[in-house]
Chain A
């Protein structure tokens, strides 16, 4: 019987079926991702598909097979999800948080509403923009003019939701342009 249950949670491509933890606020989704990662689960922050948006522009994607134990972990941490949505088709698939745009000699990565632009030739950060948190100008001032290898990540120097989402973009652009490993 257990085998049947597990089998149902594997889709036709042989991949583990996924689910989404939905929260009221982005901060709760970020906290849930940290809690679950710390507990050893493989989870990922993503953008929700349009029809399940709650005002929070982040969801936590997870392997459906571990739903019960992960839900319990979140409840025990005092941060239960508002809703749990199985990813059944394209309409319920979460969206990648990062979008990449190539400007020739420059690459821009956008995560949610935060953008980072880097000069490809020397990995120098030329622009940080977006967001509405009060630490964005501070983050921009600390990062612009430095290379990806020189500057600290936004998560080390800022504490807002904007700093967190900028950090997602920062990690992605480092990955794409081959900056030093995080």
Chain B
């Protein structure tokens, strides 16, 4: 089962903090982050890029599902 971080409803920078914690916990692998603002999507994408994680974004209604891989 894929690791998930549900960061919906959280304000900046909490989605980034949760994502960073998951990156550190896993080291490498795949996990998903669910957010509900474009700002959170952009902030997480920026962090992922700088930390060497590949990121794919899927928009579902008002939510964004980000898949991070390393």
Question: Are the C-beta atoms of A129 and B43 separated by less than 8 Å?
Answer: yes
Number of residues of chain A lying within 8 A (CB) of chain B: 16
Q: Which residue of A lies closest to B18 (CB)?
A: A103
- Chain A-chain B contacts (Cβ-Cβ < 8 Å), number: 41
Give complex CA distance A108, B10 in Å. Answer: 15
A18 within 8 A of B: no
Question: Are the C-beta atoms of B16 and A126 separated by less than 8 Å?
Answer: yes
19 A-B pairs with CB atoms under 8 Å apart are: A103-B13, A103-B17, A105-B21, A106-B20, A115-B12, A115-B13, A117-B16, A126-B13, A126-B16, A127-B13, A127-B16, A127-B17, A129-B12, A129-B43, A137-B42, A140-B43, A140-B46, A141-B46, A144-B46
Q: DSSP class of B's interface residues: helix, strand, loop or mixed?
A: helix
Those of B24-47 within 8 Å (CB) of chain A:
39, 42-43, 46-47
Q: Which residues of B contact A117 (CB under 8 A)?
A: 13, 16-17
Give complex CA distance A119, B17 in Å. Answer: 9
Using a CB–CB distance below 8 Å, which chain A residues touch chain B? 103, 105-106, 108, 115, 117, 119, 126-127, 129-130, 137, 140-141, 144-145
Q: Given A115-B12, A137-B42, A144-B46, 4 more contacts at CB 8 Å? A: A103-B13, A117-B13, A127-B43, A145-B50
